[in-house]
Amino acid sequence: MKKTDSLKKNSDFKEVYRSGVSHANRYLIMYVSENHQCGNRLGISVSKKVGNSVVRHRVKRLVKEAYRLHEDVFNSGLDIAVVARASAASIGFKEMESAVLHLGKLHKVIS
């Protein structure tokens, strides 16, 4: 299984937003760019518009777990930034998993 690091610095997020390609669905917006490294880096952004800190952290956990379970089907060498929309606050894991995989297929990064 591939090791996925996380995007932590604001400059890393800005680089993915600037140079990456974005696709969106009802719950998430996903930006993808190449990082020319061996592994993927995943960054999740949830604004205060989504809810309080408990709700925002739950959304982050759902996105991270949905990605982790399907990490082996994603191509390698990518920077992925996921931005949650306000509608993501009220969904369960199955819908989140479906949203992540749908965006991966739109970006053509799922093998």
The structural domains of the chain, ordered by start, are 5-106 (3.30.230.10)
Report pLDDT digits (tens) over 4-31.
Answer: 789 999 999 999 999 999 999 999 999 9
Rg of the chain (C-alpha set):
13
pTM: 0.92
Q: Provide mean pLDDT across the span 97-103.
A: 95
Q: What pLDDT score was predicted for residue 1?
A: 42
User: How many of the other CB atoms lie within 10 Å of CB of 22?
Assistant: 16
Q: What pLDDT score was predicted for residue 4?
A: 77
Report pLDDT digits (tens) over 49-80.
Answer: 999 999 999 999 999 999 999 999 999 889 99
80 neighbors 21 (Cβ within 8 angstroms): no
Q: 3: pLDDT confidence band, cut at 50, 70 and 90?
A: low
* Residue 2 pLDDT exceeds 60: no
